[in-house]
Amino acid sequence: QRERRSKWLERERERGEREREREREREREEREGERERGREEGRGRGRDRVGVGETKGK
């Protein structure tokens, strides 16, 4: 029983790490995209949406 549980925990942990990695990657890409858009819009509005809800929640 404990053997199976530890294997499961191991898998869960690995999956969690991969998901966090993807999440970080996505957030970084979003921030870079926001910077690009912000430059096009003449600064200002592009900034606001970063950090609203999504990034703060974590």
Instruction: For residue range 16-58, list pLDDT tens digits in order.
Output: 999 999 999 999 998 888 777 666 655 555 455 555 555 544 4
Structure tokens belonging to residue 45: 């509005």
Q: What is the pTM of this model?
A: 0.44
As a whole number of angstroms, the distance between CA 47 and CA 35 comes to 7
Question: With contact defined as beta carbons under 8 Å apart, do 48 and 41 qualify?
Answer: no
Q: What is the pLDDT of residue 46?
A: 47
For the chain, which residues make up each domain, given as ranges? Answer: 2-48
Can you tell me the distance from the alpha carbon of 46 to that of 2, in angstroms, rounded to the nearest whole number? 51
Q: Is 34 exposed, middle or buried (0-12, 13-18, 19+ CB in 10 A)?
A: middle
Q: Copy the structure tokens of residue 52.
A: 């609203």
